[in-house]
Structure 1
């Protein structure tokens, strides 16, 4: 172990070597990792390096999320995300930095481009404090944005800190002997070992064994408050198991889709971007004879229905009901086709257990209701579609006759 100042000196030197080799794209990736941890978690790398003009001045920028407003005080991804647009630019250029920053600001804030409120600029080389203040005033006066400038010394400090030092090890060849000692380590050792191994792995993740390791860490980050900031990174690793455009679905991809969907819902309280995974998983299960796959698909369907009730899903209740009824029909067909004397466990335990996970409530209570008056707008605080009301509240569109609750 080393002290932070030694690590920072080494990192600073390696950053200057990046600039000397003009490795702009690697510097972009490093800055993206820093921005996700220090600026906002909902940041994605833009397409095309700036030197090629492919990102129009924005090396990295945020994507929209409403979660910080809906869940104030939340931890993890939500706690570090912002609903205000942020753009990040970075450069390995040595000379003419003030002109470079002004030019990037003009590109980022050009007419007809997506709006931006804050701009962060990362530079390998130093910019004086007086020049920083001058550029910040220029950004406010000319473009009505807030500008923050981070130079090589700031970047080295970030990369020597515990949650980012792995970036320096992976991209800047920081030796393990120079990693600063961590006195407040709270994550289990097995978790840190798996995460460290993945961060330094060059081979692709393909097998069930690889998925088992990733799943272990993903689930820990989903439910552990201290590890939750790592959740976006675990989702990236799990995404490596998804099929390419021409590849067929198999059980590994099904498991990966299941884990991604549950982690997004339970860990980030969101279904944005994962309903396609749920549909693909359900379609795979409808062609599968594996009770374990069918049981997991039933659990996933219940999660999806719960997300719909809370206005997190974009699907219709008819789609949920259709999947539920098709899944129950598929299980009944498998039970009918299976010889009880040859496969007693399958007919008496595995398939019946899988059928029990396909909730009858999803199929019945989400069916369209014929009410005398139309139901009110959906609200995350009302549950008339999944839970029968014990008292009559006309504003919730509940049915007074208990016989009608499941129609």
Structure 2
């Protein structure tokens, strides 16, 4: 696309001669070298219609591959014509052919180069007319054809020389044969490199050696062969040689120092350049240099690299503002966005960043580099500061705005660049609009699968910035688009990526759902088995192990082992696979725990179901596993490390426990195949919704949710509804909120309608997730509406297959319900807290307020309001004097004076309501209180002896709800201590205070 764009720019810059030179070079490279150029400008007719023509007579073999395909023979005389013109193009071609054949020697063939694209019907008509009228063969190479030819490896140097295409965009090498031939030729060649052709060939060899371990030792050789080009009289050759040598020195040798001066020269020249291509290459080289600085692999200083960065940004911005051509403007604005997202070395220096703390990555192939990036994504060491995310989005927004009027601008590659930097701009409120516009343009140009790749790339970017919830949303969109495009493997891979994130977050039931769904999708509509099925089963098994569901882990393991044996290359060497090694370690832990438990029946049952060594080396040897784990106290240690009891899925009733934010979950059901699938379905969807709500603050109280799951046969649609499926059953003895969820039982592939089943479990899970929230109902609805916008939540909870159907990979017989019911968990069941990611830890930041006052402002206002509302009672208490002792005692307990006044106000109010027998339903009194009117001396007065430290403690508890209401919160059915927990951790309840006079000072 960039080559096509550059071709189109030749006309706008009136570079007719450059186009002629390009066509001449292409003809010599691919048709015949026997060419002499005509004279006179292309558009003036001075060349008499023959822009260039062949010598008569050939040396055998001088007709090259494209010439042969065009039907040109060795004795033919060929005339070449070229044009950039678009007005009456067909007429111009006819006129040029007539002139070419009317002058000089006879012509056998005319090859016509035209920058505009020519419709097939027009091309065929012109060819036929040339044959009928002039008895010559006509071949037309239009813009699209020229683009394809110029993108071939052996002709790309022409695009580099005549179109200013960056050399680093050269096509990848075809394979080792061409490399071996080039290597032999350059080793035996005495002449130094001098031409653009030399540059392009050496660039290909140098890059291949840099990124291919087997020949990386050749890098110094290629660097020496390219070095003479640094002294070329041609500025373009000299500049591109600098770039290639610098990049290869860093990426191929791991040390930029030998090329530091080349970097300086390249960036110095670029700061004053008007070439977008030169600025593009310079910006990329500057990025490499900043990386080398962080790894302490260059002597370039942070100061000079920052100056270069600012200089490049200023130059690009200036050129972008001045650009009158929309395509060029888009190209420059796209580049400006990248430049503004450069790493801020000044901030790193200020923050005392330790250069070289981590050794630089060794020279590696592109694949190895991607794998390194993937490892850094899962465990990033730090987040690098960038210069101007807002300015970058300004530039990209402008490029998007102009793109509709820039037909040659490569929107797909631009969108991919933006996707890789999504994490840097994702928090900008303009980002969703820019993202949507880019996706729409790419969808129109390349289809939904291209949009899916953008979403997956954005997900990777977001993970590098530790934004797993946003990354999940992108993966869900990518998977949905891929499956809509019938790319089941890519969709399954996106599911596995999502499953891995869920596992890292500690959302093990969501991870298991996505892993099993990935396997089911990967196996769809494929004639050959898909190896991703192995990955899915092993990940699902790992999730069961981590959740303490070891009976489920053992049940699924034979399926995973068989799939590994059948579908993976080198299956007989399981140590080569990270997931099989991890599963072997998990299995070793199970073996050792069972051995310590001393349960021979359980040991035998497990042994019978494992892929034990029976002559097949791909299977694991269970008999040797127990010795891998040290003896003594293992059961307690494992329970502590998992936060779950080993064999937690045993017992007559299945209990699933986990923690998300402030909520501990207990989901219980009968330990049967159908009921367990339904309960795990609910657990998975709860966890998916929690992740979808990941960045939203629900202001949750610390509670335990106890959900009893029952199943029923599918009911008619008229009987559906949340009230039918979820019942509030009050509180348990330990204070847990009790619920009963009734879910539809899965009776087979088509027993329930897909969307109805998903809607049922989503409505139940969603209602449970917000039960402990103190947000006002309108705010909850806004959040749920936002996370559900454009089907986002539906995509998350609907990974292409219902949970029960994905689970069905484990047959009912393999579930072994009887053994599960007879097996007792080996420790006290926990809530998996230790495996819950810090991303889902209870919130401790200041909570939102839904009134016009901040907590500080409200606290300051409490003193005058409360003293006015107690202006009769407080003097009476002070006159008695005992209130000062009570206040002192409470102050010693950490109370602020406003706590004492609030509790006193609550006690007085309750006293008066009780005496009036109103139970809080005195409208006139409540209206006075709402207006904070002064206390009426005629009101009933409380006995001063009734005001004690304990009475105030009791009445402060009652005031928690009023305090929460004052922030616009809605405690709903929560208990006082649960509300206080929120006020303490989120609203600084015990530390907030304001300047005030001592309300309990002695009266004068």
Mark yes or no: TM-score above 0.5: no
- TM-score normalised according to structure 1 size: 0.43
Q: Which has the higher contact order (CA 8 A, sep 6+)?
A: 1
Larger-gyration structure (1/2): 2
- TM-score normalised according to structure 2 size: 0.18
